[in-house]
Amino acid sequence: MSGTLNNNTKVYVGMSGGVDSSVAAALLKDQGYDVTGVYMKNWTKDLPGMQCPWAEDLSDAKRVAVQLGIPFKVFDFETEYKQKVVDYMVNEYAAGRTPNPDIMCNQEVKFKLFLEAALADGADAIATGHYARSESGRLEMAADTNKDQTYFLYRVTEAALAHTLFPLGEYEKPRIREIATEKGLYTATKKDSQGICFVGKVSMRDFLSQYIQGVPGDIIDVQTGKIVGRHDGAIFYTIGQRHGLGLGGGLPLYVARKDMIKNIVYVTAKLNDTALWDDRVALQQVHWINEAPIIDKEYRVRLRHRATLIVATFKMVGDEGETAQLVLHDEERAVTPGQSVVVYDGETVVGGGVVA
């Protein structure tokens, strides 16, 4: 983050009730920062078969704050979170795309609402338990490349990074558990949360069913043009999906594409089917953290979370919020509309966009 901040800086740490954010707060306190813990109350709704753990998470965050001897606050963003993150996700699925709500949460809530509220409340900066690094307004990959979370942070602004600390950026994940244990933190052995926070252990299909009524339609083989089954809503399927098609025996089938107007899901048994592979990607809603990428320069890109970094070049680059054209050096399978493509120059995050 900005070099103008020092150990007298008043930092509000987003504490989720997990071990990562707990250790982030502990590390900053040890470094002499004036630390306040903040729990962001974003989602409290229970779903059929799954009780939202927000109250337990709040209690755990508060206990750690007491252990550390730091002030603790609760910021209520539930209304804004529903509008900016949950509704966004539901609307994207309804349009036939596969969004990443965690990215939108970082853009709209953690590094916008939380940052603005913290600064208005007297903080100089915020901090989170993300595995990432920031230097002089630039976002860098974490030292622990297996845990690196910059894919979810690519829509953060340079201005926000100037007021953000990532205390875990230089650490390996196992060391974070060790630090929590050494300090006797209440969350030292708490399991990491999995999946999307507001979906929890409920399947995405079951979650979406609370908001969208699926319309049954045909599943058609792209090779033969024959109907091979029925689906209960094209919105529930994603490109490249193999499981959950309910088509029984025979060769495994993969979702190749969807026609939302005709409500048809097209499948193929051929992994090398051209419908499943692309070497050109159109991006929309592009966001560049510092400078826009350079035409024809080689970058590394990640097509989805935890996907291998691959080489690509830009043939067209749009300004903020516009479109860009990306050429992959090798064809990739299941480039999915709605997912984010994140661009790296070395270890620096350039930005990215959403697959059109």
Active site residues: 105, 197
Nearest to 267 by CA among 252, 255, 251, 250: 255
The sign of the dihedral angle between the CA atoms of 259, 262, 264, 270 is negative
What phi and psi values does residue 126 have, to the nearest 5 degrees?
-115, 165
Six-digit token string for 20: 């990562």
Helical (H) or strand (E) element with 179: helix 173-182
User: Where does residue 283 rank: exposed (0-12), middle (13-18), buried (19+ CB within 10 A)?
Assistant: buried
Classify 113 as helix, strand or coil: helix
Give every CB contact of residue 252 below 8 A, 6+ residues apart in sequence. Answer: 242, 269
Could you tell me the CA-to-CA distances from 49 to 197, 202, 214, 251 in Å, in that order? Answer: 15, 7, 20, 33
